[in-house]
């Protein structure tokens, strides 16, 4: 094992798969300089044809990615802030996500990976540069949604994404880029639809989405000092979603908390809660608790952001109440 940052884990995944498949190329704004440091320096190995600096037109280059995918290439699109998904939404949800369905026989493949970079709070970016939009994009059939929370998962999941023939939204929380973690020296892949139990426990099942999972793990450590033993689950992919792992955990704990930074209304927690209500309600002996972001636009500044997304203390307090 070696210890690298989340940013370098993504970089390694891109480099390894690009060396094996010359059809993979990356396109985005300032891609050869890299706002988040992921693709910085890759132009020393790969040509300008494989590191394409795109104009400031997210909808335009997302549509161009679709065209190139239909011609046999494998584009990786970087949106330098998660919020810019909304600017590219028409191309992504109306074209990229639907093209295989609109063409009978399945003769077309659409291997487009959209790296939703720099999403979430952490830089004080305000209402246009800090949103967390996974919940909004669960509503568009045809897309796979990936939410890694650490370097190991980021590399393994991205390598899987780069070998998939379907469009994928790969969410990268901005606070994770500097996070360090162990990654194997040898090649590995993480299958989609396979959640991981980050910590086993018996009192409450807590599902953490993306960086929220790391806050849940900190809360779990504090709660263990009080004799409260929570089981922490990281879904890793929201589409497909590993409900079997969640059901197995609930069969043991009978209690569920879902933690996400995105807004509570219409969020990821809403969808998971509905699934439990429809398929596994008898496993619960208490109401589901959703700990999520406030239903309001984000303020600018790091100080104001802290009041808008769940804190470790808020997670701890909700666990105490549920116990």
The answer to whether 129 is a known catalytic residue is yes
76 forms beta bridges with: 26, 113
Residue 103's pLDDT is 84
Q: Do the beta carbons of residue 250 and residue 243 sit within 8 Å? A: no
> One of 33, 128, 129, 173 is an active-site residue; which one?
129
Question: 180-183 and 2-5 as β-strands: parallel, antiparallel, unpaired?
Answer: antiparallel
Residues 6+ away with beta carbon under 8 Å from 298: 121, 125, 126, 127, 130, 131, 304, 305, 308
Pairwise CA distance, residues 99 & 85, whole Å: 18
Residue 105's pLDDT is 66
Residue 144's pLDDT is 98
Residue 123's pLDDT is 84
∠ CA 186-113-174, rounded to 5°: 80
Tokens representing 100 are 């295989």
- Block means of pLDDT (10 residues each) for the chain, length 323 residues? 97 98 96 91 94 94 96 96 94 94 82 96 88 94 97 98 97 97 97 98 98 98 98 98 98 98 96 97 98 93 90 98 96
Residue 104's pLDDT is 72
pTM recorded for the entire structure: 0.96
Residue 303's pLDDT is 87
């Amino acid at each position: 094992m070696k210890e690298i940052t989340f940013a370098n884990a993504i970089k390694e995944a891109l480099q390894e798969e690009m060396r094996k498949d010359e059809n993979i190329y990356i396109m985005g704004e300032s891609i050869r300089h890299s706002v988040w440091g992921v693709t910085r320096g890759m132009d020393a190995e790969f040509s300008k044809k494989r590191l394409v600096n795109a104009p400031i037109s997210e909808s335009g280059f997302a549509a161009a990615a679709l065209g190139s995918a239909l011609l046999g290439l494998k584009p990786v699109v970087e949106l330098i802030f998660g919020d810019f998904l909304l600017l590219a939404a028409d191309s992504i949800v109306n074209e990229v996500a639907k093209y295989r369905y609109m063409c009978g026989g399945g003769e077309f493949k659409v291997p487009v990976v959209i790296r939703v970079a720099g999403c979430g709070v952490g830089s004080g970016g305000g209402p246009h540069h800090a949103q967390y939009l996974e919940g909004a994009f669960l509503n568009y059939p045809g897309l796979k949604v990936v939410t890694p929370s650490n370097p190991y998962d980021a590399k393994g999941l991205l390598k899987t994404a780069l070998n998939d023939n379907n469009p994928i939204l790969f969410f990268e929380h901005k606070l994770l880029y500097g996070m360090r973690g162990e990654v194997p020296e040898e090649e590995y892949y993480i299958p989609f639809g396979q959640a991981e139990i980050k910590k086993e426990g018996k009192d409450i099942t807590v599902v953490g989405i993306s960086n929220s999972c790391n806050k849940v793990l900190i809360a779990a450590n504090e709660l263990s000092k009080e004799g409260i033993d929570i089981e922490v689950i990281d879904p890793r992919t929201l589409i497909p979603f590993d409900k079997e792992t969640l059901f197995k955990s609930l069969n043991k704990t009978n209690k569920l908390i879902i933690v996400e930074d995105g807004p509570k209304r219409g969020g990821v927690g809403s969808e998971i809660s509905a699934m439990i209500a429809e398929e596994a309600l008898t496993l619960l002996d208490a109401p589901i608790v959703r700990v999520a972001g406030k239903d309001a636009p984000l303020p600018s500044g790091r100080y104001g952001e802290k009041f808008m997304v769940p804190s470790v203390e808020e997670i701890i307090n909700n666990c105490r109440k549920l116990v």
